[in-house]
Amino acid sequence: MTRHHYLAASLSALVLTGCVNMAPEYERPVAPVPAELPVADPSQEGASTLTWQQVVQSEELQELIALSLEQNRDLRTVAATVEVARANLITARSGFWPSFNGSGNAQIGDTFDDSSAYSSTFSDSTSAQIGVSAWELDFFGRIRNTNDSALQTYLASVEGERATKISLVASVAEAWLQLGADKELLRLAQQTAESQKESLELTQALFDAGTASEIDLRRASASVASAQAQAATFEANVRRDINTLRYLVGTDLPPAIEASVALSPSPVQLNLPVGQSSSVLLRRPDVIQAERTLLAANANIGAARAAYFPSVSLSGGVGVAGGDISDLFEGDYASGWTFTPSVSIPIFDFGARQGNLDAARANADAAIATYEGAIQQAFREVANALAVSETISRRLDALEQLAEDTSVTLNLSQERFKSGLDDYLTVLDAQRENYDAQQQLIQANLDHGLNSLALYRALAVWKEPAGSTPSE
């Protein structure tokens, strides 16, 4: 066969490469959730435009979140995982191309004649060669499916990084809200303790004057102790919240930012930017990650199936040889080339290929279940957040009115006690009601902010800077 015939055969093989793909045809599983979200406003803007900068209104909190995205150790770990997946993808893609190898050899020797001690023959030879070693032609899609699996694994890791960023943003904002709430509760407890001290001093004066009983005095003293104990508890909570923020951010908090933490005005706002269709959940990074994993598992089935079919490889090379190294550069050399196709046919492997195929199918089944579970989890989170959003405003209005009413009642009861019209038990009840109402109002404001963040987590949209999104 002439050189042209070999070349034609090679080109024909390349044309045929990848003509067969043994991977199952992919069909996205039907989402096991209702077609519509339980509560939604179709007039609102779609969730694809939602970013954390739109949810977080506080500039100080925005600065802290930006710092956490740079310093958080867990996020660094996830980013390193993405780089590992990227490197594995590069390795997998190299299988499409031949591997070129170069080699050189020099040999110097002296051969002695056994018949004469004074006779010898000196030899000197050099050679150089470059060639292709075992380039597999992907007739049945093994290499293609291996590459597809690596690609989907890489893209899944990218979505995992996005999900981690969303979780980190929400966690930092939640810790900020919790710190703000505990600071408000600490302030309330300290104010209550001071007010209780004033009541104790008044009760002590009335007791000395004989117009108050010892029971009233003991009750006033007990209320002071209770308020001081709660203040100590909330002080510990504030320190705990600061430590949580430090951990999430990954470094010490700037003093100015730490001092600016407050629950009011609300640092987060969200006006339910969701549509009616539950298909919005398919935009969540964790759902996309689960589907990427499913696509990778589907490709692995194709690679496992391809192992049942023959493998065709090409080897070849060109080289030169001469009697001396200088001959290679002066043109005084001999040249030649080789072309070696080979076929490897699997015959019997004691069930190894079948085991690999069964494992690939089982992994695909598991990936389907994981994907469906991710969608169900997403629907539950959105539904729960929307359910709270429906009633949180009415709850806040009612608690604001309750706090105002109990405050007025407390002032009136204190005046009646000073006038001798009521005993201290009435004042104590009014103090407890007002204190409870104020605590409930703080908790409701906290719940309002946390619910906005829960909805942000549930919608889970993350926009990368332009040019940073990987392509398939």
pLDDT tens-digit map of 21-61: 778 888 888 888 887 777 555 444 444 456 788 788 889 99
Within 10 angstroms of residue 197's Cβ, the number of other Cβ atoms is 16
- The conformation of residue 125, written as its DSSP 8-state character, comes to E
Q: How far apart are CA 401 and CA 437, in angstroms?
A: 9
Percent of the chain past pLDDT 90, that is, above it, reads 33
Which segment of 61-65, 121-125, 153-157, 218-222 scores lowest on mean pLDDT? Answer: 121-125
The rounded distance, in Å, linking the Cα atoms of 442 and 432 is 15
The predicted pLDDT at position 131 comes to 62
User: 161 pLDDT exceeds 80?
Assistant: yes
Q: Which two tokens stand for residue 2?
A: 């002439």
Scanning 17-72, the segments in alpha helix (DSSP H) are: 52-55, 59-71
Residue 262 has pLDDT above 90, yes or no: no
Higher-scoring residue by pLDDT: 13, 359: 359
Q: Give which of 39, 449, 35, 6 is closest to 279, Cα–Cα.
A: 35
Which tops the pLDDT comparison, 328 or 56? 56
Contact (CB, 8 A) for 124 and 327: no
What's residue 121's pLDDT? 57
pLDDT at residue 329, rounded to an integer: 54
Mean pLDDT computed over every residue of the chain: 80
Tokens standing for 292? 């990427």
How many Cβ atoms from other residues are within 10 Å of residue 468's Cβ? 8
Dist CA 123 CA 382 (whole Å): 83
Contact at 8 Å (CB) between 313 and 78? no
- Residue of 93 and 155 predicted with greater confidence: 155
Domains with residue ranges and CATH for the chain: 30-100+141-310+359-459 (1.20.1600.10)
**pLDDT number for residue 122:** 53
Q: Please report the pLDDT score of residue 233 as a whole number.
A: 93
Residue 186's pLDDT is 94
Residue 2, C-beta contacts closer than 8 angstroms, at least 6 positions apart? none
- Quote the CA–CA distance of 397 and 35 in Å, as a whole number: 33
